Structure 1
Amino acid sequence: MNALILRLAGPLQSWGERSAFNTRDTAPFPTRSALIGMLAAAEGRSRYADLDHYAPLEVTVRIDRPGNRLIDFHTVGGGLPAAHTVPTSEGGHRPADAATMVTRRHYLADAAFTIALAGPDPLLERLAAALERPAWAPYLGRRSCVPDEPLLLRDNVTDPLTELRTAVPLCLARPPASGQSTVRVGFVWESPPPGLAADAQLYEVTDVPTSFAPDNRSYSARRLWRTDEDLPTDLYAGRNPAERLIDYALRQST
Structure 2
Amino acid sequence: MTGLLLRLAGPLQSWGERSAFAAVRDSAPFPTRSGLIGMFAAAEGRSRDQGLAPYAALEFTVRIDRPGVRLIDYHTVGGGYPDHLTAATSGGKHKGDAVITRRHYLADAVFVVAVTGPQDTIARIADALREPHWAPYLGRRSCAPDEPLLLRAHTADPVQELLTRVPLSEPEPRLRRSPQPETTVPVEFLWERPREPLPNNAVEVTVNDRPVSFAQHGRSHGKRTLYRTVEQLPAALRTEQNTLHEQLIDYVQQVPA
TM-score bracket, normalised by the shorter chain, equals over 0.9
Structure 1 counterpart of 2:121: 123
Distance 1:172 1:26 in 2: 23
Deviation at 1:237, TM superposition (A): 2.1
Cα deviation 1:9-56 (Å, max 9, x = unaligned): 000000001114100000010000000000000001111111011001
Distance 1:141 1:89 in 2: 25
Residue identity over aligned pairs, in percent, reads 57
Alpha-carbon RMSD across the aligned residues, in angstroms, is 1.0
Letter in 2 for 1:80: Y
Tell me which of 235, 238, 250 is aligned to 1:236.
238
Identify unmatched segments of 5+ residues in structure 2.
none
Runs of at least 4 residues of structure 1 off by over 4 A? none
1:194–1:164 CA distance, 2 compared to 1 (3 A): farther
Distance 1:102 1:57 in 2: 37
Structure 1 counterpart of 2:226: 224
Deviation at 1:197, TM superposition (A): 1.3
Distance 1:51 1:176 in 2: 42
**Secondary structure in structure 1 of the residue aligned to 2:89:** coil
The number of residue pairs the alignment matches comes to 251
Structure 2 counterpart of 1:113: 111
Identify unmatched segments of 5+ residues in structure 1.
none
TM-score (norm 1): 0.96
Distance 1:195 1:35 in 2: 27
Deviation at 1:180, TM superposition (A): 1.4
Contact 2:201–2:230 at 8 Å: present in 1 too? no
Structure 2 counterpart of 1:173: 171
Distance 1:15 1:251 in 2: 31
Contact 1:5–1:115 at 8 Å: present in 2 too? yes
Distance 1:223 1:27 in 2: 14
Contact 2:2–2:118 at 8 Å: present in 1 too? yes
Letter in 1 for 2:155: V
Structure 2 counterpart of 1:209: 211
Structure 1 counterpart of 2:254: 251
